[in-house]
């Protein structure tokens, strides 16, 4: 389990970090930038969205994720949040192992895969269908070797129609995410103090639903 802090910003990271003169001396770039694509799943009542909006301490999000423009391999993921700590359960799947019918219902794939029943144990009982596609460019930083910083920009949302058609909606906001183990909390506080970051709740899934007109709570 790890902590996660989010900082929404309205500029790209190069402009945002220009004022932080010592930034380059305190961080490394462990990975190259890459495009991240996710399809978020929910039921017809948007239960996971409502749980997130209400701030329920024990909640989950469901998605599939793939990187860059290749859909050859992707990941089924469940994000579990308990109070201020979170973790991600991830299962890599080759496209040859599934089809669009399985993708349309998050539950279907696991119901037919006995070896993945451990994953089913983390699924809630409601039927999960694709509700939102999110794509963005992610840049990676590592602060003092222990605190991970990611900067997500060029965020785009789209509503799936049987996964075949998407209407693209561009977000003018970007978001910085700081992720760290509980024992490195002091380093995260140091980072926040040095950078003047202002944490705020931010969910790409909720914001995408809002911008697409599905929800009006923001």
pLDDT in the model for residue 200: 92
Query: What distance in Å separates the CA atoms of residue 60 and residue 78, rounded to the nearest whole number?
Result: 7
Q: Return the number of other C-beta atoms located less than 10 Å from residue 7's C-beta.
A: 20
Report residue 21's pLDDT band, with 50, 70 and 90 as the boundaries.
Answer: low
Q: Would you call 215 helix, strand, or coil by DSSP?
A: coil
Q: For the chain, how are helix, strand and coil distributed in percent, rounded to 5?
A: 25, 40, 30
- Angle (nearest 5°) at CA 188 between 182 and 194: 170
What class, spelled out in words, does domain 2-211 have in CATH? Answer: alpha beta
Helix (H, G, I), strand (E, B) or coil at 20: coil
Contact 132, 46 (CB under 8 A): no
For 27-76, the pLDDT digits (tens) are 888 999 999 999 999 988 898 899 888 888 888 899 989 998 877 778 88
* Mean pLDDT value of segment 114-138: 75
Q: What is the per-residue pLDDT across 144-153, written as a single tens digit (0 to 9) for each?
A: 999 999 999 9
pLDDT tier for residue 218 given thresholds of 50, 70 and 90:
very low
- Higher-confidence residue of 14 and 92: namely 92
pLDDT in tens, 164-202: 455 689 999 999 999 999 999 999 999 888 877 889 999
Predicted structure pTM score: 0.85
Instruction: Give the model's confidence band at 161: pLDDT under 50 very low, under 70 low, under 90 confident, else very high.
Output: low
At 18 the pLDDT is 59
Q: Tens digits of per-residue pLDDT, 72-122?
A: 778 888 898 888 788 888 888 776 655 555 566 666 665 555 556 656 666
Structure confidence at residue 162 (pLDDT): 47
Question: What is the domain partition of the chain in residue ranges?
Answer: 2-211
Query: For the chain, how big is the Rg over CA atoms in Å?
Result: 18
- Model confidence at 139, pLDDT cuts 50, 70, 90, reads very high
């Amino acid at each position: 389990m790890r902590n996660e802090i989010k900082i929404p910003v309205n500029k790209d990271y190069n402009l945002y970090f220009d004022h932080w003169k010592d930034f380059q001396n305190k961080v490394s770039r462990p990975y190259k930038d890459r495009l991240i694509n996710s399809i978020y799943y929910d039921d017809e009542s948007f239960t996971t969205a409502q749980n997130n909006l209400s701030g329920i301490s024990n909640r989950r999000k469901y998605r599939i994720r793939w990187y860059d423009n290749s859909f050859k391999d992707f990941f089924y993921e469940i994000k579990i949040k308990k109070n201020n700590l979170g973790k991600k359960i991830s299962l890599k799947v080759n496209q040859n192992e599934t089809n669009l019918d399985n993708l349309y219902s998050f539950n279907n794939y696991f119901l037919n895969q006995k070896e993945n029943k451990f994953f089913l144990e983390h699924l809630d009982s409601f039927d999960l269908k694709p509700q939102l596609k999110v794509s963005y460019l992610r840049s990676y930083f590592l602060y003092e070797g222990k605190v991970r910083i990611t900067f997500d920009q060029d965020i785009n949302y789209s509503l799936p129609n049987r996964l075949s058609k998407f209407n693209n909606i561009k977000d003018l906001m970007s978001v910085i995410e700081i992720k760290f183990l509980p024992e490195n909390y002091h380093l995260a506080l140091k980072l926040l103090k040095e950078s003047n970051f202002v944490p705020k709740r931010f969910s790409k899934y909720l914001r995408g639903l809002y911008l697409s007109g599905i929800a009006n709570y923001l």
